[in-house]
Structure formats: structure tokens, C-alpha cells
Amino acid sequence: MATENIRKYKFGNPLNTGAVVMEIAESTGNPEGFLANPKSKELQADFSKDAFVYGLGETIRGINKRGWLYRSNNADEPHHEEGKNSLYASHNFFIVDDTETCTGYFIDHPGFVEFDIGYTDKDLFTIRFNDFDFYLYVISGKEPKEIVKNFRELVGKSYIPPVWAFGYGQSRWGYKTADDIRTVRDRYKELGIPLDMIYMDIDYMQDYKDFTVNPERFPDFENFVKEMKKDGIRLIPIIDAGVKIQDGYDVYEEGVKEGFFCKKEDGKELVAAVWPGKVHFPDFLNPKAREWFGDKYKVLTDAGIEGFWNDMNEPAIFYTEEHLKEVFDNIHELENKELDISGFFEFTGLINSIANNPEDYRRFFHDFDGVKVRHDKVHNLYGFYMTRAAGEAFERIAPNKKILMFSRASYVGMHRYGGVWTGDNMSWWSHLLLNIKQMPSLNMAGFIYIGADTGGFGGNCTEDLMMRWLEFSIFTPLFRNHSALGTREQELYQFKDSESFKNIVELRYALIPYIYREFTKAVENNTMYFRPLYFDYRSDKRCREIEDQLLVGDSLMIAPVYEQNRTGRYVYLPEDMKMLRMRSYKDYDEEVLSEGDHYVKAELNETLIFIRQGQKLPLAKPARCVDELDFDDLSYIS
């Protein structure tokens, strides 16, 4: 590792978050590029007009982060709109690139951080803190790819899932019984659409309790898991952060007995609420609690489960006992009063303050390696450490087996234990474009096993949106169709043109040898699977502003169609490339296009793939599941 390219600065009394795995000697003085002002709790830098900012992982808006206000403050935020400042994750790594100089920065701080990137003043980059206690790592290099590589060496190798986890997964909040899941399997099987995973949302549990299975809805669960696996399908259950408060429930009783739940200032366990009603939150920052909770996954792995998704782990809070009482007391004061505009907004503000209230995150504490720490000071670590609990447990439970794991909330460092999906998006065309733009930034932060809810989680997906979204998602390592209870059903068999959907999913399976090869290269070499064009074509200034085309691995460029009612799009090629207009893995047109601008046709059922000079694309013969793919019998397009 080129440690000479990394400087480490210490401000205040920072905690060891676990994000960094390499020892770097501390430097003194002001960090390169930024002036530190501990009194105002700020770092500030002048901005050249040509500077681009890349990174910050999972956020809203574009690949270039300039011009907006981003906050590292993990949030249960289902509205991924342009005006938002925070999503579910905090990835405080970014690169400032003004074409002549290129510098990377990682702010290792588990609490609130605000990145004002030319928002208040277009010529200033200001970073603000609630607590001026953090490590700052400054990484120098000639280009972004070099800086990313050094950063990824600093924070450790990324998670690699089992090979079957690159197959297609079908999910929906609302599969309530084993027969519901059998119906999904049967419908996909009838249409011959490959399928590797069916996800189990909260309805599989007994009263929404972690590590339980409802025996009436899922009788003989172990044999049901075997039945599905005979058809090549793994069941992937959800695990939530909150543990239901209920006498006789072993996880609750053990956690209370051993003191493994988060406590308030007075030493009593915090009582909050999520899906099961009232819950306690495990103290994942306590190593003993982490080991205890992680070992609970064995209940399901013993039943044959080989993968999980961790959810609601910001943690999401529907309410706490304390704040709910405050709200009701205040509402009673308004009762029988005439509500003018001020009174009406006061009333609705009280109602809207119940969930995920900032004050609630100051009500409880962690035992963080023997140090009592208030939750808001380490808020952004909670999802990371929940997934770390699972990842470390899998090494004990199944040391010779890869287990699928991905999470909603995360922080840098969690990438060593699992992947992420980008949370509760919507069935909007703008969220397809957002999905495209999020991928490179997540790769920069070390998250390589990534994807979004294809088709959108909330809202009502249309057939054309699902088809266009699939045409992008076949390149994302995590490939899952997921939707919310009460929305339009969006399993692929719900739409008219099932043959085109089959062809797109089969194309994904044909691409898996390439995707898996390039994914593992990115992990082993600390590089990026998804990259902006400008990361590879540094001399081509046109590429700086292109955010709707991505490089995928070393051989491919993609240019998804992401607008409704379009039968083509404009594409810029930084070099001559072969274009494939693919209707299926064996039905496609190919054409060599010269460097420059092109308008290319792409009907609704056509996926555009561009092969870079000197490269070739391997294709496998699709199978009903990844286990049946022949990775040796490949054809090639060059």
C-alpha cells in the first residue's frame, strides 16, 4: 500500500469507528486544501470554478456533488427527492478534482457531518460538525482511480457474496404465506424466466419478531426451504433492528438479562416502537451484544437459509414512549381550540414529529468498547455494526460458506461485511436515473455488491418503466425487483409482454460470467466496477459532464434509456466502440460507431451495450438459476 500518499490528521478526541484497517502515522498542521476552525466547528476550502466533487456514496442528485448541501445523518427517508439532504447511509469519502490537481478526503466521524459543496457560497466548500472530534485522511494522487484505490486499501477489502446472489430476485412486502411464495415460483417457472431468490419481508415472522417464523403461515419451514431450493430458489428473509418486548420471547428475555439493549441515562432500556410495536434496540456497538445477536442468525441458517437483508437499522423509530407522551400532552392543549394557520401547522407538526424525532436519538446510550456514548454521537455506525454482527457470526456459523448479506443503513467499513440496496425508492423515471448516478459513488466508498429496488418500491410501476429499469439493473450486482404493500403488483408475470421480460432476465444470466469476473476484480484490486467515463478518459473534457453513461468493468460502457416514451437516446463515445442493440442474449444487432456524438435507436425491448476497443464480451447460455450456469462454455462478442 502506498501509505506515503495518505496523511492522517486528528481533531479533538475522535472515536475509533472501525472504518479504517491500516495504521497511518498522524500528521500535524492544517490538512491540504482545507482550513480547520475548531471554534466554529468547520473545515473550509476555496473552490476553483473547474473543480468537480465525486463521492459521498449513497446520496441524492448527481455524480458531481457540487452545488448542494449533503448531510451524513442516516435517515429512514423514503422520499428520495432533490430537496433532501440525507438518505440511509453516511459515506464521508470524496475527491476534489479540478483537472490539474486531484485530492481525496475521508472524514472518519460517526456523528452528524454537513457538506456544503458550493451551496451557501458557490466558491466555497464548507464542512460542518456538531462535534469537532474526527480523523481526517487526505489522499493525494494523479487521478481519481489512483485515489480510490489507496482509499479502498485504507478501509479494507469489500464483501463478496455467493455466486448465486448475482441471479435475479423477486421480492414484495405482502407475501404472507408459503403458498404466496409458491405462486411466485410457479408463475416464473411457467414463463421460463430465470429466478434465484424470493425475498421474505416481515410477514414471515411471528408477530414481527426477529428470528421467528409464523408456524401457521409457514408450516414445516425447514422442508419448505428445501422444496424451494430444489427448484433453484433461495429464500432470503428480512431481519429488523428492533426486538419486540414480549415475555416468553427468548431474544427479548436474553437481551434484558445480559444487558445487551441500549439504555437511557437512568440505566433503563429505551422503549421505542417499530413493526412489532414496542421494542428494545440491541447495542450493536457492544462487542458482547454483537456476538449474541449475530449468533441468533443460526436459527435460520440451521433451517437452510443462506442469505439475509438487514432493514430498519438507521435505526428507524416509529415513536418512543417519552416523545409520544409529549405529543399527546401538546395535542390535548390544542383540543377544542380553533386552529388558524399557525395552530394548524403546530398540530400537523406535532403529528409529523412522532417518527424518527432527532430528540429520540439523544435519549439512549451505547457501551462502545467500554465507553458510554450517547447514540446521536455514533448514530451513523448503527447499521454498520448490525451487519458486522451478522458477518462476524457467519464466520462462526458457516466458516466454509458464503452467506448473502446486505443492509439498508451503512457507514464506510460495513462494506467488508455486506452490500447495500438504496432503500425505499419510488416507481419514478427520475429514480431510475438516480439509480444510475448512485452506483459509481457507492463503488468509490467500497460498496460493490449494490443495487436498487428495480421498478421502484413505492408507487405503481408501469410496464415500460419496469422494462427500462431491468435493462439497467441487469448490470447491477444486486438484482432485485421489490415493491411495497398496497402498490401495483410488479412481478414480471403481471405485465403483458412476458417474452421481452424473459429475454432481458436471460440476458442478465448470459452476462453473469462477465459481471462476476469484473466484480471480483474490483474487490481484489480495490478498483471500481461502475465508473464515470471521466475516470478512464481523463483527456476528454466532454466526459466530465456525462452522468447518464457508465463504464461497467473494463470492457463495457452502458447508456440506459431512462425517459418514458423514448425509442432511442443520444450517446457520446470517447473512442470508437462496437454497439450491441440486444433484444435477447442471442438476438442482437451490432455496429461499430466512431468516436463522437450519436443518436441511437433503442426500442422498449432493446438493451444498449458498448464494447470498448480491444475488449470482448463473454456470454453464457442462460439457465433457470445460477447454479445451473456453465461458466466454461462461453461465446464471445468482440
Residues 558 and 472 sit within 8 Å (Cβ to Cβ):
yes
What b/e sequence results for 575-607 when a residue is b if at least 16 CB atoms lie within 10 Å of its CB, and e otherwise? bebbbbbbbbbeebeeeebeeeebebebeebbb
Grid cell digits, residue 585: 442474449
**Between the CA of residue 305 and those of 66, 194, 291, 294, 310, what are the distances in Å?**
43, 20, 19, 15, 14
Q: How far is CA 244 from CA 208, 282, 362, 560, in A?
A: 8, 11, 21, 43
Q: Which three cell numbers stand for residue 496?
A: 403483458
C-beta contacts of 498-502 below 8 A and 24+ residues apart: 498/191, 498/193, 500/467, 500/583, 500/604, 500/605, 501/191, 501/193, 501/466, 501/467, 501/470, 502/191, 502/192, 502/193
For 337, the grid coordinates are 381550540
Strand ranges of the sheet holding 35-37, from the earlier edge strand across to the other edge: 35-37, 42-46, 124-129, 113-117, 68-72
What is the identity of the amino acid at 154? Answer: L
Instruction: Give the span between the Cα atoms of 514 and 529, in whole angstroms.
Output: 11
Q: How far apart, in Å, are the Cα atoms of 577 and each of 20, 265, 572, 590?
A: 39, 63, 11, 10
| Residues β-bridged to residue 274 | 277
CA distances to 138, 162, 411, 442 from 66, in Å? 19, 37, 22, 17
Closest of 57, 52, 106 to residue 441, by C-alpha? 57
Distance from C-alpha of 544 to C-alpha of 394, rounded to nearest angstrom: 42
SS (H, E, C) 505-556: HHHHHHHHHHHHHHHHHHHHCCCCCEEEHHHHCCCCHHHHHCCCCEEECCCE
Q: Which three cell numbers stand for residue 596?
A: 463522437
Residues with a catalytic annotation lie at 311, 314, 424
The DSSP output letter for 269 is B
For 599, phi then psi, to 5°, come to: -100, 120
- The contacts of residue 76 (CB under 8 Å, 6+ apart) are 88, 312, 314, 316, 317, 355, 356
Phi, psi of 180 (to 5 degrees): -60, -45
**How open is the CA angle 539-545-551, to the nearest 5 degrees?**
70
CA atoms within 13 A on the CB side of 452: 30
Pairing of strands 550-552, 596-601: unpaired
C-alpha cell at 76: 429512514
Bridge-based pairing of strands 89-90 and 410-411 is parallel
Per-residue b or e along 43-77, where b marks 16 or more CB atoms closer than 10 Å to that residue's CB: bbbebeeebbbbbbbbbbbbbbbbebbbbbbbbbb
Q: How many Å apart are CA 607 and CA 609, to the nearest integer? A: 7
Residue 89 in grid coordinates:
447511509
